[in-house]
Amino acid sequence: MPQDQGKKRFDRLTLLAASERRYPKSPDEAKLECFDNLYSGRDYVIEFDCPEFTSLCPVTGQPDFGHIVLRYVPDKLCIESKSLKLYLYSFRNFPTFHEEVVNTVLDAVVSACSPRRAEVVGRFRPRGGISINVKAAMGGKIDE
């Protein structure tokens, strides 16, 4: 691949090389960035495992802790991992229910990169003696 063409692939990426330290205050303020998928002619699975997810209960304001796993089959674009980290961090002080978190993340990924298939699983730590696990998918099952 010519060097100029390789550089153009990354033109959309503003967060990766930036030393920006301000974190987005909400998912609406956060930005998922993408880069070109060089292997768009084949199906393969990308998995992001985020075991330290936090958000706030919208009723009590207490922190909720969870484990988010994003799996997707990319099409033309791939999600850049630093932008995903900042996007997920934006939930830290954001009041939302677990079901909303998982569906919001899925919607953001689909909007950003239009994957062939995607799924988001949230496994939330118990509060009041009950754990909540949520899975949302788009485009069908992703085989292991």
**CB atoms near residue 120 (< 10 Å):** 25
Please report, for residues 10, 24, 144, the alpha-carbon distance to residue 83 in angstroms, rounded to integers and kept in the order given.
13, 11, 25
CATH of segment(s) 3-15+24-138:
3.30.1130.10
Q: Could you give the residue numbers annotated as active site?
A: 57, 64
Closest CA to 66 of 58, 57, 79: 57
How far apart (Å, rounded) are the C-alpha atoms in residues 91 and 140?
Answer: 27
In tens, the pLDDT along 105-131 reads 999 999 999 999 999 999 999 988 999
Mean pLDDT on 84-92: 96
pLDDT classification of 7: cutoffs 50, 70, 90:
low
Percent helix, strand and coil across the chain, each rounded to 5?
A: 20, 35, 45
How far apart (Å, rounded) are the C-alpha atoms in residues 35 and 28?
Answer: 21
Q: What are the residues facing 93 on neighbouring strands?
A: none
Instruction: Return left, alpha or beta for 51; rule: phi > 0 is left, psi -120 to 50 is alpha, else beta.
Output: alpha
Mean of the per-residue pLDDT values of the chain: 91
pLDDT classification of 11: cutoffs 50, 70, 90:
confident
pLDDT at 93 over 90: yes
